[in-house]
Structure 1
Amino acid sequence: MAGEISELKDVIQRIDGGPRMSMGVRHKDTVYFAVTPQAPYDGNLSAAEQCRQLFQKAQGRLDVLGSSRSNLLFVAIVLADMSDLDEVNAVWDSWIDQKNPPARACFEASLTQPSLKLEMIMIAAVNDSE
């Protein structure tokens, strides 16, 4: 059992980990991360504008983690207000690789700050060249 645990630790890579969370986690050929718009969050921005910021950060994380939009497997979209969904969908449609769309879920929840309009949780495969 102890050997199995150390082997599992060897295949989990935490990227930019801190005491509360990691920027991303890689397990074998899969990466996991959450992403928000650029902090400090500007509540005067529309949900679409925050979504564009979020996707800019997401692209950077995918690059650092050795993945890409084409390799997204699953995205959970968390909205502070479901009435923003159409706005967010328009930005999503322009950013996502429509030839390789991920599975997706969208739900409404109270987020950590009133000015934060959305957050996303992403799971992606690592590029073959990694």
Structure 2
Amino acid sequence: MSIKRIGDHGNLCDAVVHNGLAYLAGHVADDPVSASVYEQTKNILKQIDETLAQAGTDKSKILKANIWLSDISTFAEMNKAWAEWVSKGNAPARATVESKLADPKYKVEIMLTAAI
């Protein structure tokens, strides 16, 4: 079986495709400095759309999503952006938790798995 790596950054890839599944790495905002949680989430979801397309799939085939928020009190703000984006009738299994992220400027990180 083949393994396809998308967006290889040396120590991680944006996604790995194997055995009919696309495993996306945690995505964070491109320019998080002054962006709100809503804006960061929108940016991340745009990145995810692009990565899924490179993997040969789309958001209607997402199976599972993990979302980390640096402050759980911003859940509604993140969830608003998610609800505007998620494929209607194809919502994945999802978990959202509060966690300290790799850099304090990041307020949201999203990782998911999708079928091809």
Task: Give the 5 Å matches for 1:115-126.
Answer: 115-126=105-116
SS in 1 for 2:91: coil
TM-score (norm 2): 0.93
Query: Which of residues 33, 41, 52 is equivalent to 2:24?
Result: 33
Query: Which of residues 2, 7, 10 is equivalent to 1:16?
Result: 7
SS in 2 for 1:119: strand
Give 5+ residue unaligned stretches, structure 2. Answer: none
Query: Which one has a bigger Cα radius of gyration?
Result: 1
Structure 1 position 111, deviation (Å): 0.5
Query: Which of residues 92, 95, 102 is equivalent to 1:112?
Result: 102
Quick one: distance in 1 between partners of 2:7 and 2:91? 27
Quick one: distance in 2 between partners of 1:109 and 1:33? 19
Aligned 8 A contact 2:15 2:23 in 1: yes
Q: Tell me which residue corresponds to 1:3.
A: none
Give 5+ residue unaligned stretches, structure 1. Answer: 1-9
TM-score (norm 1): 0.83
Q: Tell me which residue corresponds to 1:71.
A: 61
RMSD of equivalent CA atoms: 1.2
Structure 1 position 12, deviation (Å): 2.3
1:100 is the counterpart of 2:87:
no
Q: Percent identity at matched positions?
A: 30
Q: Which runs of 4+ in 1 moved over 4 A?
A: none
| Higher percent of residues as strand | 2
